[in-house]
């Protein structure tokens, strides 16, 4: 929903806001277009999950502004972030709004685009590699496989109270696809797992939690739906992490990218 307070920007707008997906962390996964924009940016407004090697690609003379959000600790509220972008566009030519993963996959990029366009700011979107695909891949987990899964579904495990609907229908999700990928769901697994089991998911279904996927410090916890909540508590495994649920997880031992830490 467009924030009415953001409609009153001055009519003359100099700059363009580029909503750029930074990918999951490995700088090699940043798109060429994203890299080129970073190298020519006047200002880079970035999120908490953007990796240091990617930030290091920015124009040395660019102003870097951290607006990151982590587990309820907001450097700037969402509305103030958008207001900042609108204000910058009045007198700044190239503003890169750098978001972890892909701007339009659980990144609130759609909301920012709506408000910017309503305020008369020109916006261009540069897609990024989303962590829900990249993190499992780097751990040797294909989301689809002819012998295991012909469908995959992406869902957020973290919901805001003012969403368009009150909650994810986890029982429907359990039946909708053979592979389930959950973003931002580590802390809500105690609520999510019982609903998946109640919908008929086999307790022995494997699940992989991948923290800092694609990065040198990546960690992977392999468990089952029956054991994962206890394993998270026992190991102290924490966010940010992607959860992948399904028999495709059993393929993780065939190939591991780099040397991530594994908890099994």
Could you give the residue numbers annotated as active site?
47, 69, 184
Distance from C-alpha of 91 to C-alpha of 99, rounded to nearest angstrom: 22
**H-helix or E-strand containing 73?**
strand 73-74
* Torsion, CA 30, CA 143, CA 158, CA 107, rounded to 10: 30
Identify the residue whose tokens are 């059993």: 250
φ, ψ of residue 74 in degrees (nearest 5): -100, 125
Distance from C-alpha of 253 to C-alpha of 256, rounded to nearest angstrom: 7
Pairing of strands 241-245, 219-224: unpaired
φ, ψ of residue 156 in degrees (nearest 5): -90, 140
Task: Give the SS3 label for residue 169.
Answer: coil
Distance from C-alpha of 141 to C-alpha of 250, rounded to nearest angstrom: 8
Distance from C-alpha of 138 to C-alpha of 124, rounded to nearest angstrom: 29
Rg (CA), the chain: 19
Distance from C-alpha of 80 to C-alpha of 123, rounded to nearest angstrom: 18
Distance from C-alpha of 215 to C-alpha of 101, rounded to nearest angstrom: 13
Distance from C-alpha of 224 to C-alpha of 148, rounded to nearest angstrom: 16
- Number of residues that this document lists for the chain: 264
């Amino acid at each position: 929903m467009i924030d009415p307070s953001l409609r009153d920007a001055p009519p003359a707008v100099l700059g363009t806001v580029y909503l750029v997906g930074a990918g999951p962390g490995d700088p090699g996964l940043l798109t060429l277009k994203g890299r080129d924009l970073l190298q020519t940016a006047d200002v880079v407004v970035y999120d908490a999950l953007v990796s240091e090697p990617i930030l290091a690609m920015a124009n040395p003379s660019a102003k870097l502004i951290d607006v990151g959000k982590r587990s309820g600790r907001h450097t700037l509220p969402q509305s103030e972030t958008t207001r900042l972008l609108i204000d910058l566009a009045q007198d700044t030519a190239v503003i890169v709004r750098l978001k972890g993963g892909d701007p339009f996959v659980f990144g609130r990029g759609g909301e920012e685009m709506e408000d910017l366009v309503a305020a008369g700011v020109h916006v261009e979107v540069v897609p990024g590699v989303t962590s829900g695909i990249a993190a499992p891949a780097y751990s040797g987990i294909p989301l689809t496989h002819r012998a295991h899964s012909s469908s995959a579904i992406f869902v957020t495990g973290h919901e805001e109270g003012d969403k368009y609907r009150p909650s994810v229908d986890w029982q429907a999700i359990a039946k909708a696809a053979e592979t389930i990928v959950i973003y931002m769901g580590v802390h809500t697994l105690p609520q999510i797992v019982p609903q998946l089991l109640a919908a008929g998911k086999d307790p022995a279904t494997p699940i992989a939690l991948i923290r800092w996927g694609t990065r040198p410090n990546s960690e992977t916890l392999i468990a089952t739906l029956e054991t994962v909540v206890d394993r998270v508590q026992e190991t102290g495994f924490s966010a940010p992490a992607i959860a992948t649920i399904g028999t495709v997880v059993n393929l993780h031992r065939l190939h591991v990218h780099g040397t991530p830490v594994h908890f099994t």
